[in-house]
Structure 1
Amino acid sequence: MDDELLVNGLIDVTVKAKQVCPTKLLVFDLGTDQLVARYDFPEEFVKQDSLYSNILVDVRGNDCLNVHAYLTDVWRFGLVVFSLKTMRGWRVKNVEFEWTDGIFGLALSPYSNYNPDRTLFFHPMSSFREFTVKTSVICNETGWSDVKDAFKVIGQSRGKNGQVSASRIDRNGIMFFNLVTRDSVGCWDTRKPYKRSNLGVVAENAETLVFPNDLKVDHEQRQSVWVISNKLPLYLYEGLDENQVNFRIMSAFVDEAVKNTICDPNASDYDTYQEFSDDEDCY
């Protein structure tokens, strides 16, 4: 089994970022802990103030060669697509949307032999909106820019305090996402319309989820959602108190997490769109 690691090469990003080594993608064999592939980003991929912050690996079935990785540039409004088969990468940028702080969170729809063209969901952390693009578009190195209206805004705005950091989707199509200004972890059944009445909350805690920064869904037979939280807001303004717990790793089984929420596949009262005012429907 292989896994990929993104190294952005930056330090002191909250003060004055310093590029101490090239941005690169490393591929490891988890069975042997050996490095099996390395891809150094070309200079044109690393713009002034670039910060690559997130990676999502697209593996389909048992095909371990035709694999793509999607990497987000959170400060310079771009997405890099890397092909393990060709050992090539290309930078995708869409001028139709002005992503205020670049792309941050990524999630992939489940893979199916019946529908092999997966959907990539993405968002900036500053936006209350969710965007999508088909992977068949962005995985076309030479033709992605020729596809019109490939990048789409879906559904409603998440509304006030709807900023999201990381997100992931389990094999049943349930998206989990970190609501960073609400000390919460949210959820959405992707088979239902994207509207506020279909967005649930599976966890909320003003102490343990002060800043839910990262989130993953594992590949076990009974899947779990994993969340990393830290006290970044306190660190930026006051520093960290070493006598307190400042970093946490938490998990829950996905079926237990969504039980009795609107994200539960058994919840079906989602046909009517919720009313909302114009001032709430903002980016």
Structure 2
Amino acid sequence: MNSIAKILFMCLFYQAAALIPPKFQWKTLDFAWPGSERQSAMSNGTYIAENNMPTGIARWKDKLFITIPRWKKGIPSSLNFVYLNDSQNAPLHPYPNWEEGCLTSNGAAASNRTVVSTFRVHVDRCNRLWVVDNGVTEMSKDVRQITQPSILVFDLKTDALLKKYVFKDDVLRDSSVLTSIAVEIVGKECAKGNAFAYITDMGSNAILVYSMKDDDAWRVENHYFHFDPHAGVYKVGGIDFYWSDGVSSGTLSQPKKDGYCDLYLHPTSSTKQFRMSTKLLRDKDAPKEDIFNGVEIIGDRGPKSQATACDIDPATNVLFYTQVCKNGLGCWNIDKQFNEENTPLILSDCTLMEFPNDVKADREGNLWILSDRQSRFLYEAMDFDQVNFRVLTSPTSTLIQGTACEKKSIFSRLSGSVGKELKSILIRAIKGKILPLVYQ
């Protein structure tokens, strides 16, 4: 093995080792059942282990939230959590509790706090959990609408339901599938409730905007929210399939000088990355022409780079995104130009990361990745003697170290004879200003 190959191997091993072993992994998902209810649930069909597949994660303090959409029968609870200090195959706890996290015996919502079916959730800096609920069961076959699609906002310190907004029919379509939610808090005071939620409607190609302060929602459409016919073919886990999924994930930058954020978004069946200012999204009466011209194409990730989810780490200003067909993770430092050189594949593992479905950056500088073998779950029988679902985690700074996504210091960017001379000048200048102060 030559020296270059050795270096490459060491780099790849170092990056993979940062995520191995998985924080959590399961062959099938099970729950922290009270008493003898597990056996009863298996007998009456309200729990069918093989039908439970996770799609979303979010971390808050000692809890990791895990969502299970009701694709099929036998899902006890859609919104759940595990404790971070629990075992690697930890059982799931329904949220907010067993009584309200599950449906009733006749298939109805147990209370106003019951989440029927959610894909992904968001934890904001105000210690609130934002959930977008599709309100349906058995999505893969005979869809049943249990409750109207809605947004639920929980206070994570008390588990109290702070707000529930039921979407009106005029912002939805018959094909609506609400997948992800990103939240922009306006100002520094959480108590004022001035926040906007941006929900991707993957099924009908739109962004739904919700104003917490006004308790109102509206629909935003753009042709870039639709799928790209050239990016509809997938091959994951040896399975070929075709998807025409529209905009499915969005994440927000830090506020800009004008006080607004940029929403970075993409359709699942696309290789392009888009950006839109929340100044337009927040304006319910924005002219259609402004909306039409308000979405910017910032670049193309390249062939076979479809992504189900993305998130920006505020500590590094790096956007991380899943790479479904590559069983991996990509990144882009949003302060740099979006091109092939600046959007590397930083992780790839056909076993640990088969079908990476969600990625989240927490507020302590850690990245969380969920892989779930979704293509096998939907189109082919899964082998439940193997590990199928994994949660991987690592500090974001470790993942991007040595990659194009790392923000290097001014000294590390300087190289060559000119760089050395500039470094020397800078050091002398700094010493010249600091040392006289020492002797004063």
Q: TM-score, normalised by structure 1?
A: 0.88
Aligned equivalent of 1:230: 372
Aligned equivalent of 1:272: none
2:264 and 2:142 mapped to 1: Cα distance?
Answer: 31
- Alignment of 1:118 onto 2:231: no
8 Å CA contact 1:110–1:170 kept in 2: the answer is no
1:206 and 1:80 mapped to 2: Cα distance?
Answer: 35
Give 1:124 deviation, angstroms: 0.5
In 2 relative to 1, CA 206–20 (structure 1 residues): closer, same or farther, beyond 3 Å? same
SS of match in other structure, 2:386 = coil
Q: Identify the structure with the greater strand proportion.
A: 1
- Alignment of 1:37 onto 2:163: yes
| Paired AA for residue 213 in structure 2 | K
> CA deviation digits over 1:61-97, x for unaligned, max 9?
5232211111011111111000111111111111466
1:96 and 1:79 mapped to 2: Cα distance?
Answer: 11
Aligned equivalent of 1:9: 135
| Paired AA for residue 4 in structure 1 | W
- Alignment of 1:199 onto 2:343: yes
Aligned equivalent of 1:85: 213
1:71 and 1:153 mapped to 2: Cα distance?
Answer: 20
Q: Identify the structure with the greater helix proportion.
A: 2
Aligned equivalent of 2:200: 72
Kindly tell me the number of residue pairs found equivalent between the two proteins: 265
Give 1:241 deviation, angstroms: 2.0
1:149 and 1:21 mapped to 2: Cα distance?
Answer: 35
Aligned equivalent of 1:107: 251
1:170 and 1:185 mapped to 2: Cα distance?
Answer: 14
Query: 76-85 or 259-268: which moved more?
Result: 259-268
Mapping of residues 168-247 of structure 1, within 5 Å: 168-171=311-314, 172-220=316-364, 223-247=365-389
SS of match in other structure, 1:164 = coil
RMSD: 1.9
8 Å CA contact 1:184–1:202 kept in 2: the answer is yes
In 2 relative to 1, CA 98–231 (structure 1 residues): closer, same or farther, beyond 3 Å? closer
1:80 and 1:256 mapped to 2: Cα distance?
Answer: 35
Aligned equivalent of 1:47: 173
8 Å CA contact 1:110–1:169 kept in 2: the answer is no
| Paired AA for residue 15 in structure 1 | K
Aligned equivalent of 1:258: 400
1:39 and 1:75 mapped to 2: Cα distance?
Answer: 20
SS of match in other structure, 2:391 = strand
Q: TM-score, normalised by structure 2?
A: 0.57
1:180 and 1:170 mapped to 2: Cα distance?
Answer: 20
Give 1:60 deviation, angstroms: 4.4
Greater RCO structure (CA 8 Å; 6+ sep)? 2
Structure whose CA Rg is larger: 2
SS of match in other structure, 2:375 = helix
8 Å CA contact 1:138–1:144 kept in 2: the answer is no
